[in-house]
């Protein structure tokens, strides 16, 4: 059935970018201020789900050819690997570190290992959430 969803499509084309930007912002601000990998991941996933809703699964698959089960797996691997990495450096499990670097465009920037951990969390959330939504929609026939 083809429904007339011009309004939804037009708006979501703009809104998806706003949501994605907001998701990245939440993710980056995570470890010091409210936000973080989990919420950032949720917001990012909501943008992807909105894409699925406004177009259809095939179109999104074509432009975003990812198996979200593996996205989740990569996320968990990344998050646990940062924890495990601290074992290799001989400090307690899950220890995090940070330092300030003078980067060309950004100026003096704080880079932390916790961001890698948060990236793992975000990927896991996106992967799991999209997988759940997709498998529910598949079962509906």
Partner 1 sequence: MNNLIVLPLIIPIMVGIILVFLRPYVKLQRAISLITMIGIAVVSIFTLNRIQTDGIIRLDFAGWQPPFGILFVADSFAMLLVLTASIVTAICLIHAFSSIGERHEKMYFYPFVLFLVAGVNGSFLTGDLFNLFVCFEVMLLASYVLITLGGTKPQLRESIKYVVINILASWFFLVALAYLYGTVGTLNMAHISERVAEAGQGPLLTTISILFLIVFSLKAGLLLFFWLPGSYSVPPTAVAALFGALLTKVGIYALFRTFTLIFYHDPLISQTLIGIMAGITLIVGCIGAIAFKDVRLIVSYNVVIAVGFILIGLAVGTETSIAGSIYYIIHDMIAKAMLFLLAGTMIYLTGKSKIDEMSGLIRNYPLFGWMFFLVTCSLAGIPPLSGFVGKILVGQGAIESGSYVLLTLAFLSSIVVLYSLLRIFLNTIFGETIISLEDEKPMKMGMIIPIVLLGIATISLGLGAEFLSGYVADAAHTLSNPSVYIDAVMGGDK
# of chain residues touching partner 1 (CB under 8 A): 17
CB-CB contact of 45 with 126 (8 Å): yes
The strand pairing partners of 107, in sequence order, are 103
The reply to whether 81 sits near partner 1 by the rule CB under 8 A is yes
Q: Which of residues 85-104 bind partner 1 (CB under 8 A)?
A: 86-87, 91-96
Residues 108-137: x where in contact with partner 1 by CB under 8 A, - otherwise, as a string: ------------------------------
Please tell me the distance from the alpha carbon of residue 103 to that of residue 62, in angstroms, as a whole number: 35
Of 54 and 82, which has the nearer Cβ to partner 1? 82
Minimum CB–partner distance for residue 50 and partner 1 (Å): 27
Which of these segments, 15-23, 45-53, 77-85, 99-107, binds partner 1 (CB under 8 A)?
Answer: 77-85
Q: Is 43 helix (H, G, I), strand (E, B) or coil?
A: helix
- Interacting residues with partner 1 between 47 and 76 (CB under 8 A): 69-70, 73, 76
Inter-axis angle of helices 68-88 and 113-139, nearest 10: 160
Q: Considering the complex, what minimum distance in angstroms separates the CB of residue 76 from partner 1?
A: 5
Q: What DSSP letter does each residue of 72-98 carry, written as one string?
A: HHHHHHHHHHHHHHHHHTTS-TT---E
Burial of 76 (0-12, 13-18, 19+ CB in 10 A): middle
Q: Which residues of this protein are in contact with partner 1, per CB under 8 A?
A: 69-70, 73, 76-77, 80-81, 83-84, 86-87, 91-96
């Amino acid at each position: 059935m083809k429904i007339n969803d011009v309004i939804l499509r037009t708006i979501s084309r703009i809104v998806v970018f706003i949501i994605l930007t907001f998701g990245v912002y939440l993710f980056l601000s995570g470890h010091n201020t409210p936000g973080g990998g989990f919420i950032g991941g949720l917001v990012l996933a909501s943008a992807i789900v909105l894409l699925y809703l406004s177009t259809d699964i095939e179109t999104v698959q074509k432009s975003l050819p990812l198996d979200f089960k593996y996205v989740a797996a990569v996320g968990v691997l990344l998050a646990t690997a940062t924890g495990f990495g601290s074992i290799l450096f001989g400090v307690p499990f899950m220890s995090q570190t940070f330092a300030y670097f003078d980067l060309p465009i950004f100026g003096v920037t704080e880079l932390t290992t916790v961001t890698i951990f948060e990236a793992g969390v975000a990927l896991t959330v996106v992967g799991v959430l999209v997988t759940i939504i997709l498998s529910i929609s598949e079962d509906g026939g």
